[in-house]
Amino acid sequence: MAKCGYCGTGILLGGVSDGGQRFCNNKCRQNGQILSVAQQISPEALERQLDEIFSGNCPKCGGSGPVDVHKAYEVWSALVITRWTTSQKLCCRSCGLKRQIGSAVLSAVLGW
């Protein structure tokens, strides 16, 4: 059985071929292409860019950093349907905290 070149899932039938590799679907094929391009970036250049982003201004409010990835979790229910979501935002601590408080309020009101 063939394995997906991106996620490693076994491919029994079908799949997508690209450049001598097989992928389970088009999303994995696209992610595989991004991964191969990303591996060509030097670790030093990547570290420099990450430092610039971290110490830069918040892309959401324009305030001073540090900038980081902040997660917010939400849940809402409607009779027999329940939805859980996780969103990630690149922003300063203040913007991240505001988003997390908003998500907590939404979950408290609609997540019964």
Query: Which residue type sits at 108?
Result: A
Given this model, what pLDDT does residue 88 score?
95
From first to last of its 112 residues, what are the pLDDT tens digits of the chain? 788 888 888 888 888 888 788 888 889 999 888 888 888 999 999 999 999 999 999 999 998 889 999 999 999 998 889 999 999 999 999 999 999 999 999 999 987 6
Given this model, what pLDDT does residue 21 score?
84
Q: Which residue has the tokens 């409607």?
A: 78
DSSP structural state of residue 34: H
Given this model, what pLDDT does residue 112 score?
67
Helix or strand run (H / E) with residue 73: strand 67-78
Q: How far apart are the first and last CA of the chain?
A: 45
Distance CA 75, CA 87 (A): 12
Beta strands in the chain (DSSP E): 2-3, 10-11, 16-18, 21-23, 67-78, 81-92
